[in-house]
Amino acid sequence: MLQVFVPVARGQGGLAKDSVIDAGHVVTVRQDSLGPPLGIMPSAIMSAVDEALRISLGLPVPFFP
């Protein structure tokens, strides 16, 4: 799987089926066009999404001394 895709197993974050977050196609949507939240993604998934977005957007690796 490409580094900009983050697999998410069914049940995580309230998802009904296995899914993939595609950080390679970032779009903006109006907040009022979204439905209610399904749940909260675990921090490990969100860390993987952060890394996938960093790669997709060509951002440098953060440096923490």
Q: Whole-angstrom Cα distance, residue 17 to residue 6? A: 14
**Total structural domains within the chain:** 1
Q: pLDDT tens, 9-61?
A: 999 999 999 999 999 999 999 999 999 988 999 999 999 999 999 999 999 98
Q: What pTM does this model have?
A: 0.84
The per-residue pLDDT for 1 is 66
Cα angle, residue 17 at apex, residues 56 and 2 outer, rounded to 5°: 25
Q: In Å, how far from its chain's centre is CA 31?
A: 17
* 65 within a domain of the structure (yes/no): no
Parent domain of 52:
5-57
